[in-house]
Amino acid sequence: MKNYKRIGIVGGVSPQSSALFYKLLVEKHFLRNKDYYYPEIVMFSVDFGKIKDFQNEIDSLNYIQEFVKAIDSLEKAGAEFAVIASNTPHRVFSQIENNVSIPLLSIVDATAGYAVDNGYKKLLLLGTRYTMSEDFYKNGLKMKNLEIIVPSGRDQGLVNRIIFNELVHDIISETSKNELIKLMNAYSADAVILGCTELPLILKKEDITMPVIDTTDVFAEVTLDYALT
């Protein structure tokens, strides 16, 4: 029987990807151990509407506070460390981390580590328009000597529309899937980062010709490893 730290998950951004992240943690434990002594997991689901409003209004203070409050609640529920099961909030990771008392793991660091371990150098980043247009992913991976490229403005709009108009509502469209695959094939990179935890809902590794870094899967792996340290 494994002796795990209690895991705290900030979920709700969006509910679909939060459920997938939780499911992956449990499945990965079983694949490793073939038993049912799963880690104890506490989830705090934030108000997605508030998060989107603060994001759209560029209200970074209240945006940060929503995540700080969520992690404080997880700590009160006995979580020994926390993860945010979404890529976009990591744009303010350091501000959140500096205002909470328990360790907070970074999905950007997890992604960078995976890329280095697999020898990737040039990476195509897909995600929300915030993730693709801002520098938090680029800067985080640059520290590991990794080059990040992002789609053109028009292509960014396509990816963002599919995420927010379809995937967060659990709408999986074959047409949208094919559009995303066509988009990826237009860029030259060693691997593509699925830098939005909703993208694995529509894209599978076998659908894509270039290597894939599924940040949801990678982060779940790192979370489970950390829970054992």
pLDDT in tens, 32-55: 999 999 999 999 999 999 999 998
In whole angstroms, give the CA distance from residue 163 to residue 189.
22
**Would you say residue 228 has pLDDT above 80?**
yes
Domains 7-106+218-227 and 108-214 agree in fold: yes
| pLDDT at residue number 217 | 97
Segments making up each domain of the chain, as ranges: 7-106+218-227, 108-214
In whole angstroms, give the CA distance from residue 173 to residue 46.
27
Say if residue 58 is exposed, middle or buried (CB neighbours under 10 Å; 0-12, 13-18, 19+): exposed
Mean of pLDDT values over 111-126: 98
| pLDDT at residue number 162 | 97
What count of residues does the chain have?
Answer: 229
Q: For residues 111-140, b (16+ Cβ closer than 10 Å) or e, as one string? A: bbebbeeeebeebbbbbbbbbbeeebbbeb
Which tokens is 76 given?
């009160």
Banded pLDDT at 86 (limits 50, 70, 90)? very high
pLDDT in tens, 123-169: 999 999 999 999 999 999 999 999 999 999 999 999 999 999 999 99
Which tokens is 55 given?
């994001």
In whole angstroms, give the CA distance from residue 221 to residue 219.
5
| pLDDT at residue number 218 | 98
Topology of 7-106+218-227 in CATH? Answer: Rossmann fold (3.40.50)
**Would you say residue 116 has pLDDT above 90?**
yes
In whole angstroms, give the CA distance from residue 110 to residue 116.
10
In whole angstroms, give the CA distance from residue 125 to residue 129.
11
Q: Quote the mean pLDDT of the chain.
A: 96
In whole angstroms, give the CA distance from residue 141 to residue 108.
7
| Helices and strands counted in the chain (H then E) | 10, 7
Write out the H or E segment, with its range, that includes residue 41.
strand 41-45
Which tokens is 161 given?
């529309």
**Would you say residue 99 has pLDDT above 80?**
yes
Write out the H or E segment, with its range, that includes residue 185.
helix 174-185
Architecture of domain 108-214: 3-Layer(aba) Sandwich (3.40)
**Would you say residue 106 has pLDDT above 90?**
yes
**Would you say residue 1 has pLDDT above 80?**
no
In angstroms, what CA-CA distances link 59 with 50, 92, 228?
11, 12, 36
Cα torsion 88, 90, 91, 96 to 10°: value is 130
